A and B are shown apart, each in its own frame.
Chain A
Amino acid sequence: MKNILPALLLLASCGAALAADPAHTVIQSGRAFHPAEVSINRGEALTFTNNDEFIHQIFVDGLFDSDERSPGENLTENFTQSGTFEVHCHIHPKMKLIVHVK
């Protein structure tokens, strides 16, 4: 029983992480990213949710350049390289998100 309990706790914690996943969601609102800085592991994806009144898109120089998304829409980008990246929006150049990929 003692061996089963840690395994169950581990499974429960993984399930909770997958369900909430706050570390992998970035909100676009007020022509800004929220949060403005995130850390993820290499190979993980970030989901961008446009909760703004404006159309947005995202790009990282030399890495990706997304389509535009209307309010209410999401988009997801995978980060397959380690490093620190600046995510911007072509439409609103002052928007900046720092992504640390471990």
Chain B
Amino acid sequence: MKPIFGLLAMAAIAFAMPAFAADTLYADMGGQAVIDRLVDVSVDNYLADDRIKTIFDESNMDRIRAEFKVQFCQVAGGPCVYTGHDMTAAHKGLHLTNADFNAVVEDLQAAMNTCDIPFRVQNRFLARLAPYQHQVVTR
């Protein structure tokens, strides 16, 4: 009975999760205009954050902003297609820690508040970013 219950639970979760075609997160966040603003505000937060700002010392910030805008759009289920390098390759040399990742998330949450993205929508977006932690944190 237990295995059947497990399968039923998984099926229930699968049905409860929005299918790609019915993905509303991109629209719920406010579309590309809000995502573009969210990236600009969050990057400004990173550069002002003493905990992580040195990570970006050697980087082309215009390029990073442009790539984030495409990537956030795709993660939110929008019409963009991110064609950059995978997260592991892009972050390998930075030797990021969990503390770095958590600081990035905090700054992103602050930016979402600034952009008036509703709390429940914020959580849906953060849930989609969470799997990247294992790809970018290397120490």
Contacts and interface: CB of A to CB of B under 8 A. Distances in A.
Please report whether the interface of chain A is mostly helix, strand, loop or mixed according to DSSP: loop
A91 B63 CA distance: 7
Contact of B92 (A54, A68, A93): A54
Chain B residues touching A, range: under 10
A68 to B, nearest CB: 7
Interface in A75-102: 90-94
A90 B63 CA distance: 8
B93 A53 contact: yes
A31 B93 CA distance: 10
Contacts of B127: none
Given A68-B85, A91-B63, A55 B58 contact: no
Given A31-B58, A92-B58, A94-B58, A55 B89 contact: yes
B90 interface: yes
Interface string A50-76: 001111000000000000101100000
Contacts of B93: 31, 52-54
Contacts of B90: 55
Contacts of B92: 53-54, 71
A28 to B, nearest CB: 11
Contacts of B85: 55, 68, 70
Contacts of A94: 58
B60 A70 contact: no
Contacts of A71: 92
Interface of B: 58-60, 63, 85, 89-90, 92-93
26 contacts: A31-B58, A31-B93, A52-B93, A53-B92, A53-B93, A54-B92, A54-B93, A55-B85, A55-B89, A55-B90, A68-B85, A70-B85, A70-B89, A71-B92, A90-B60, A90-B63, A91-B59, A91-B60, A91-B63, A92-B58, A92-B59, A92-B60, A93-B58, A93-B59, A93-B60, A94-B58
